[in-house]
Every structure is written in C-alpha cells, then in structure tokens.
C-alpha cells in the first residue's frame, strides 16, 4: 500500500552550565522541515503542497499550539514529492515536553485548502 512520508528534524542541543541562555531558561530548538513523499491528491487539479509547523506541549491539539511558535513553508508547486528544505528556531521555554507538529496542505484558490497529512516529532 502507498503511504505518505514526511521528513522533519527537531534538534534541541543540551545547554552547557556556562551558557547564558540556559541560565535564563531559554531552550531554543532548531527545526528543519525538508520534504514529503508520496502525497495523496488534494483535488482534481493536482497538488500545490505547503507545510505548516507549530511547536507546543506534547499531546496537545493543533489548535492549542500557538501560531506564533511555528512557521509556514512556501508552496512547492504541482508536486507529490515536495522539497521545502527550510528551517527556523522555536522557543521551548515553559514547555515540559516540547512537540513539533507538522501539517501538509494542498493550496486551493477557490476552496479551503485540503489537509494532506500530519505528523509529530518529540
């Protein structure tokens, strides 16, 4: 059977005792979203996929993760195997167990965008 695969890396380096950021409780997490493969068709016109990444407490719903703690990638053109290859740093202070939540959408001009798939990385 066919299955969708998404490539996402979340890196959270361990702070050293000499690191000023760790003293102030700042826990940056570098997030790199690079691709998805074998996406299903969003509609009859093909796929125009883009990715949205949010960071929040593990196990919370998408809507509970703040939009400000994430990013949206560019539309990858008509493609079932898009390559976004973008990264950003998210603040994880105050989160006991940070989670990266990824959703892939098909952009539609005249209707709501279609959700093609989602995944989570702890």
Contacts of 42 (CB under 8 A, 6+ apart): 48, 49, 105, 106, 108, 113, 114, 116
Q: What is the pTM of this model?
A: 0.76
Please report the pLDDT score of residue 110 as a whole number.
84
* DSSP letter (8 states) at residue 35: E
Query: By C-alpha distance, which of 101, 99, 92, 87 is closest to 30?
Result: 87
Would you state the pLDDT for residue 87? 83
Spans of the chain below 70 pLDDT:
1-28
């Amino acid at each position: 059977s066919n299955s969708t695969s998404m490539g996402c890396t979340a890196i959270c380096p361990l702070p050293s005792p000499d690191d000023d950021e760790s003293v102030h409780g700042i826990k940056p997490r570098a997030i790199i979203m690079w691709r998805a493969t074998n996406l299903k068709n969003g509609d009859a016109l093909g796929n125009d996929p883009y990715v949205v990444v949010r960071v929040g407490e593990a196990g919370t719903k998408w809507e509970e993760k703040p939009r400000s703690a994430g990013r949206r990638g560019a539309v990858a053109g008509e493609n079932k195997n898009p390559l976004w290859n973008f990264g950003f740093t998210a603040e994880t202070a105050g989160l006991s167990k940070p989670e990266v939540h990824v959703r892939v959408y098909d952009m539609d001009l005249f209707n709501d965008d279609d959700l093609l798939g989602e995944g989570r990385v702890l």
